[in-house]
């Protein structure tokens, strides 16, 4: 394709779940589509690796679950293909710490009840006519609730990869998910590689530099490092982080409405830190144990830890929001030290002894130029930016899709896939 201009029906930029969903939908409609992907693989933020540091076992570097498995559009596709789906919640044992001790049964019951208390307080802030506020305002209504800060940290920095003070309460409410969390056996990225690219014209290692849109008859030209393609329509599925950074130039420049939406949808960050045990101690925890703790109101961060997942010999911490961005700037060693500190706080010197000189892994989505973050969030007052960004631009020959554009499954593979399908319908 080097130096050659090729005419196609639709160009899709990005072979993550949105791009694959768009291309698959176009194929079902009998429309031709070429998918351009800068990386050497499909899947985007769904990526199963086999890191030597963890003994070569499969490890999902980004997305890990099919959320809301009973309604997720990818679930029937996996089952039809014969893939085994593991119910993550059934595999894990939960342990919650209060300080350095395990929570009592009464405390755990109160913790369970804290979620409906939090949701009820949130509803008081979302009455008709009231302005959208930050998620952090909810806990302010619960000054005597010992678990309010823990729920806030879960819903903000853990689940949505953003500190609660920066996150739209309305956007949170619109994207709260229920149901089961399902894991395809062997990893979700491997599932995407096996099942979702078949029959699609995906051109890997092809970096898009510029999109010229609004040409004669609505023609779009997409300039890449391997040549230029012209098309009737273009669907752009790269992250808002990449678009905000100007990594792809648009000629003419994007309309102010689109630019405002991108400004309102920055990227959150979630960093996984895995440490492989160097001894036989398992910290008195059962196999595949999820550990969290009661968070205080001093700005402390919830760092949930998956211990010995699938019977393996490592633990994996999840660091989100502003702390994750700060640690990214300091480097991998700082993230590992932070994770060790979390373990030390819970397990004391046993953790230091078990993970001394341990092989480690740190994910780096915030530094990856093809993502520049984990997934998008809406800032307070801008919950409608997702649906506005999904609207066709100009004469309808340029569209945006991705997890940032979906309301209901924002930040998930399902949201990206459904958004891509919606863009394909708009093209048709």
What are the residue ranges spanned by the domains of the chain?
A: 4-43+196-266+382-427, 88-173+270-362
Q: Where are the alpha helices (DSSP H) in 272-363?
A: 321-330, 332-347, 349-354
Shared fold status for 4-43+196-266+382-427 and 88-173+270-362: no
Q: Is the domain defined by 4-43+196-266+382-427 classed in CATH 3.40.50.150?
A: no
The token pair that represents 173 in the structure block: 């409410």
Task: Give me the pLDDT at residue 6, please.
Answer: 67
Task: Give me the pLDDT at residue 1, please.
Answer: 42
Phi, psi dihedral angles at 384 (to 5 degrees)? -80, -5
Q: How many Cα atoms sit within 13 Å of 223 on the Cβ side?
A: 10
The token pair that represents 336 in the structure block: 């590992």
CATH assignment of 88-173+270-362, among 3.40.50.970, 3.90.660.10, 3.30.200.20, 3.90.1150.10? 3.90.660.10
CA 174 – CA 156 distance, rounded (Å): 14
- For residues 11 and 399, is the Cβ–Cβ distance under 8 A? no
40 exposed, middle or buried (CB, 10 Å; 0-12, 13-18, 19+)? Answer: exposed
Task: Give me the pLDDT at residue 5, please.
Answer: 60
CA 27 – CA 6 distance, rounded (Å): 19
CA 424 – CA 419 distance, rounded (Å): 9
Q: What is the pLDDT along the chain (428 residues), one digit of tens a residue?
A: 444 466 899 999 999 999 999 999 999 999 999 999 999 999 999 999 999 999 999 999 999 999 999 999 999 999 999 999 999 889 999 999 999 999 999 999 999 999 999 999 999 999 999 999 999 999 999 999 999 999 999 999 999 999 999 999 999 999 999 999 999 999 999 999 999 999 999 999 999 999 999 877 789 999 999 999 999 999 999 999 999 999 999 999 999 999 999 999 999 999 999 999 999 999 999 999 999 999 998 778 999 999 999 999 999 999 999 999 999 999 999 999 999 999 999 999 999 999 999 999 999 999 999 999 999 999 999 999 999 999 999 788 999 999 999 999 999 999 999 999 999 999 98
Rounded to 5 degrees, what angle do the CA atoms 58, 270, 171 make? 125
CA 86 – CA 71 distance, rounded (Å): 16
CA distances from 418 to 85, 191, 292 (A): 20, 17, 32
Task: Give me the pLDDT at residue 37, please.
Answer: 98
């Amino acid at each position: 394709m080097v130096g050659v201009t090729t005419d196609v029906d639709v160009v899709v930029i990005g072979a993550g779940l949105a791009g694959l969903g768009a291309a698959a939908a176009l194929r079902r409609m009998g429309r031709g589509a070429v998918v351009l992907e800068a990386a050497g693989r499909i899947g985007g933020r769904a990526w199963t690796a086999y890191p030597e540091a963890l003994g070569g076992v499969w490890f999902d570097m980004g997305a890990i679950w099919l959320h809301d498995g009973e309604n997720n559009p990818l679930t029937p596709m996996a089952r039809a293909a014969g893939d085994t789906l593991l119910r993550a919640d059934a595999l894990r044992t939960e342990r919650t710490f209060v300080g350095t001790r395990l929570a009592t049964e009464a405390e755990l019951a109160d913790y369970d009840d804290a979620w409906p208390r939090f949701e009820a307080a949130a509803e008081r802030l979302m009455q008709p006519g009231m302005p959208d506020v930050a998620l952090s305002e909810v806990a302010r209504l619960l000054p005597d609730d010992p678990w309010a800060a823990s729920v806030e940290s879960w819903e903000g920095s853990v689940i949505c990869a953003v500190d609660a003070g920066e996150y739209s309460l309305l956007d949170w409410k619109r994207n709260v998910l229920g149901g089961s969390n399902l894991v395809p056996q062997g990893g979700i990225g491997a599932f995407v590689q096996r099942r979702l690219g078949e029959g699609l014209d995906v051109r890997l290692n092809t970096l898009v530099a510029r999109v010229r849109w609004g040409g004669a008859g609505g023609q779009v030209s997409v300039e890449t490092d391997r040549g230029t393609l012209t098309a009737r329509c273009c669907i752009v599925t790269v992250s808002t982080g990449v678009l905000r950074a100007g990594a792809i130039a648009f000629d003419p420049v994007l309309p102010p409405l689109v630019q405002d939406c991108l400004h309102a949808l920055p990227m959150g960050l979630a960093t996984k830190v895995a440490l492989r045990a160097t001894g036989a101690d398992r910290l008195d925890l059962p196999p595949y144990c999820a550990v969290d703790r009661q968070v205080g109101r001093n700005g402390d961060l919830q760092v949930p830890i998956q211990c010995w997942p699938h019977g393996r010999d490592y633990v994996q911490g999840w660091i989100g929001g502003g702390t994750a961005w700060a640690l990214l700037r300091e480097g991998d060693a700082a993230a590992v030290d932070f994770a060790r500190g979390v373990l030390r706080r819970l397990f004391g010197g046993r953790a230091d002894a078990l993970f001394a000189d341990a092989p480690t892994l740190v994910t780096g989505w915030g530094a990856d130029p093809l993502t520049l973050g984990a997934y998008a969030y809406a800032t307070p007052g801008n919950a409608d930016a997702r649906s506005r960004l999904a609207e066709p631009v100009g004469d309808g020959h340029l569209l945006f899709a991705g997890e940032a554009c979906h309301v209901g499954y924002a930040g998930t593979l399902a949201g990206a896939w459904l958004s891509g399908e919606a863009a394909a319908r708009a093209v048709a």
